[in-house]
């Protein structure tokens, strides 16, 4: 029996809205009736985060033309085009294409970088992203360039209530290296913890600049970086589960540091820390 002849389009759309963005795209290929229901605003508004309108209206980088898009087009626009939010536009927002969950990135200016406040430019300097042609394109106005430190300590913090609830998140350090960098032949320590936890997660080794030998043997005593589509490098800091809104964890804290070997380090460029949903294993 052809259910499209017995059920109204709105009813079919309601059923599809209980699936996933991927399923909705597949169902749109079944028939013309399914295509009409699966591409409707009713379906795609439910795939968008509940507070998407508030987020868009608070962004100085988003265009008013976004309000003219269909909900499906808006969904995919926000997947591919992060918008700047927060005080000083030091955070970006976009949508995970598969799940519709929130992806947020803290700019380097939103992080706590020891000796990186700008008052000691001989340790860290702040570079305008538009005036650094050798670096990958940045979504933020500034990035932090390490000139020389021995004590490397970078922390990020974000309130869990602005993330998608009931979601497993991964946190990633986004960076690059400039010419004549040095001091990253030893691993840094990365860790993540929810603010209300008595004990934080165990720190793991991470190699920001692994040697060719290290890459070939794929050793398991530390995390290795990957190159992103936007040409920045990323390395995983850790993961956590963000519960329901009633299970308010307060905030999640992320840390990257090297304070044991204390060798001189130079040439690191910090773009930020990104939090995005991870598929459940």
Sign of CA dihedral 134, 137, 142, 143: negative
The per-residue pLDDT for 176 is 96
Reported as a single tens digit per residue, the pLDDT across 111-126 is: 999 998 878 889 999 9
The per-residue pLDDT for 1 is 46
Select the CATH number that applies to the domain covering 102-277 from these four: 2.30.40.10, 2.60.120.260, 3.10.129.10, 3.30.1370.100. Answer: 2.60.120.260
The per-residue pLDDT for 140 is 95
Q: Could you give the C-alpha distances from 265 to 149, 249, 261, in angstroms and in order?
A: 5, 35, 11
Burial class (CB in 10 A: 0-12, 13-18, 19+), 202: exposed
The per-residue pLDDT for 217 is 59
The per-residue pLDDT for 53 is 93
The answer to whether 205 and 235 have CB atoms below 8 angstroms apart is no
The per-residue pLDDT for 189 is 97
Following CA atoms 222, 228, 233, 239 in sequence, which dihedral angle do they give, to the nearest 10 degrees? -50
Reported as a single tens digit per residue, the pLDDT across 172-223 is: 999 999 988 999 989 999 999 998 776 666 899 999 998 766 666 555 678 9
- Where in the sequence of the chain do the CATH 2.60.120.260 domains occur? 102-277
The per-residue pLDDT for 81 is 94
The per-residue pLDDT for 104 is 98
Beta bridge partners of 242: 167
The answer to whether 111 and 148 have CB atoms below 8 angstroms apart is no
- The residues of the chain scoring below 70 in pLDDT are 1-6, 198-201, 212-220, 245-249, 280-281
Cα–Cα distance measured from residue 6 to residue 15, given in angstroms and rounded to the nearest whole number: 14
Q: Structure pTM?
A: 0.91
């Amino acid at each position: 029996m052809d259910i499209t002849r017995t059920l109204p389009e709105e009813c079919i759309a309601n059923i599809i809205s209980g699936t996933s963005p991927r399923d909705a795209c597949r169902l749109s290929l079944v028939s013309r009736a399914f295509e009409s229901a699966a591409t409707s605003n009713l379906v795609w508004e439910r795939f968008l985060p509940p507070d998407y309108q508030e987020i868009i209206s608070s962004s100085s980088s988003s265009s008013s033309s976004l309000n003219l898009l269909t909900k499906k087009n808006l969904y995919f626009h926000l997947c591919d085009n992060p918008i700047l939010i927060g005080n000083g536009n030091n955070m970006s927002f976009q949508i995970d294409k598969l799940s519709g969950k929130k992806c947020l990135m803290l700019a380097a200016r939103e992080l706590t970088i020891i000796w990186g406040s700008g008052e000691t430019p001989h340790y860290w300097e702040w570079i305008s992203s538009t005036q650094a042609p050798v670096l990958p394109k940045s979504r933020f106005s500034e990035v932090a360039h390490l000139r020389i430190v021995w004590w490397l300590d970078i922390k990020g913090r974000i309130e869990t209530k602005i993330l998608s609830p009931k979601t497993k998140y991964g946190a990633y350090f986004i960076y690059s290296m400039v010419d004549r960098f040095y001091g990253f032949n030893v691993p840094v320590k990365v860790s993540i913890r929810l603010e209300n936890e008595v004990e934080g997660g165990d720190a793991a080794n991470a190699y920001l600049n692994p040697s060719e030998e290290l890459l070939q043997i794929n050793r398991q005593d530390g995390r290795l970086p990957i190159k992103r589509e936007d040409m920045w490098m990323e390395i995983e800091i850790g993961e956590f589960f963000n519960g329901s809104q009633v299970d308010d964890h307060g905030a999640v804290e992320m840390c990257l540091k090297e304070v044991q070997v204390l060798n001189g380090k130079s040439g690191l460029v910090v773009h930020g820390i990104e939090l995005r949903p991870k598929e459940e294993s």
